[in-house]
Structure 1
Amino acid sequence: MKNSSRTKPRKRACPPPPLHSARTYVRVEPSKIGLFRFLLEAHDNLGVFTVTNRFTGILQLRYSPHLRREMRAFLDAAATEMTVEIVMDPGGAVSRPRRA
């Protein structure tokens, strides 16, 4: 008889709690801020955001630094629904657009 012992894959070890939050500034169309909020909430509240400038659609995303990869994946997924632009300088000097 075949050995049927199956081992469960190990869960990823939780890192120690971070001392600070990671921040990323993104720009979305002002009319799409509500949609962005719903998409972020649908991803198990991966992070929170604050509207920095409601007229230009600049948002400040705050999230745990060990979830950086998941946040990038979320931004790529959100870019399929709307135009999401990562803004390095909120003043508008350097930016990298992400389009659907």
Structure 2
Amino acid sequence: MYLQLDPRNISFLKFLLEAYDNLAYLTTVSSQSAVIKLVFAPEQEQEVREFLESVRDEIGFVEILMGGRDGY
């Protein structure tokens, strides 16, 4: 799953994911455009989406839909 967000919020999101029992692994794909990739187990997708919805107002991000597997 790819997200784009304010670069100032990347560390905060990473902190929240770690505090949420390492729900997903976050890696920065492009620091210039502030695109990150979240990696998680397929069976956790619903939980990850619920978590993201719960922090959407605080962090402000958009999901980027990719055409291929790692098409970014």
**TM class, shorter-chain normalised?**
0.7 to 0.9
Structure 2 CA distance for aligned equivalents of residues 37 and 52 of structure 1: 14
**By percentage of residues, which structure has more helix?**
2
Match in the other structure for 1:71: 48
Give the 5 Å matches for 1:1-100: 24-89=1-66
How many residue pairs end up in the alignment?
Answer: 67
TM-score by length of 2: 0.85
Q: CA deviation at 1:56?
A: 1.2
State, as a whole percentage, how many aligned pairs show the same letter. 28
Q: Deviation string for 1:25-76 (max 9, x for gaps)?
A: 0111011111111111111100101100011110011000000110001110
Asked whether the 8 Å contact 1:26–1:59 carries over to 2, the reply is yes
Tell me which structure has the larger Cα radius of gyration: 1
Cα-Cα RMSD? 1.4
Q: TM-score, normalised by structure 1?
A: 0.63
Code of the residue aligned with 1:31 in structure 2: it is R
Gaps of 5+ in 2: 68-72
Runs (4+) off by over 6 Å:
none
Deviation at 1:80, TM superposition (A): 2.3
Q: Can you give the 5+ residue segments of structure 1 that lack an aligned partner in the other structure?
A: 1-23, 91-100
The Cα of 1:84 is off from its aligned counterpart by: 1.3
Tell me by how many angstroms 1:82 deviates.
1.5
- Structure with the bigger RCO (C-alpha within 8 Å, sep 6+) is 2
Q: Distance in 2 between matches of 1:49 and 1:68?
A: 14
